[in-house]
Amino acid sequence: MMYPFMTLNDDTEITHSEMKADGKVKVYIETPDEFGGFHNATCWLPDYKWEDIEGYSDTEMAYFKQLIRNNAHLIIEFSQEGGILNAANS
């Protein structure tokens, strides 16, 4: 299951998984493109291992890497509480 975390002004969606048994959390970033498709990237926390990067420039990836690094503590916390919406209701 993936939980919403953040939507940016350009309609980029950032979602995350629940925390896996091995302590890892999948973070998925997806931005619609002008051709009806999507640019996407996946990051695994807490290792910050990036994979499946498609369509993003080096500048965009530098931004996303910093954004995820700055918010990793929140994403990891929410991954243990059923997402931000469930955490807000606790």
Quick: pLDDT tens for 18-46. 999 999 999 999 999 989 999 999 999 99
Would the pTM count as exceeding 0.85? Answer: yes
| pLDDT, average across residues 68-85 | 90
Instruction: Give the pLDDT of residue 42.
Output: 98
Instruction: Give the pLDDT of residue 89.
Output: 61
**What residue has token string 């500048």?**
59
| 13 CB-near residues (< 8 Å, 6+ apart) | 4, 6, 7, 29, 30, 31
The residue ranges of every structural domain in the chain are: 2-85
Instruction: Give the pLDDT of residue 83.
Output: 76
Instruction: Give the pLDDT of residue 13.
Output: 98
Residue 87 has pLDDT above 90, yes or no: no
Cα 44–78–72 angle (5° rounding)?
45
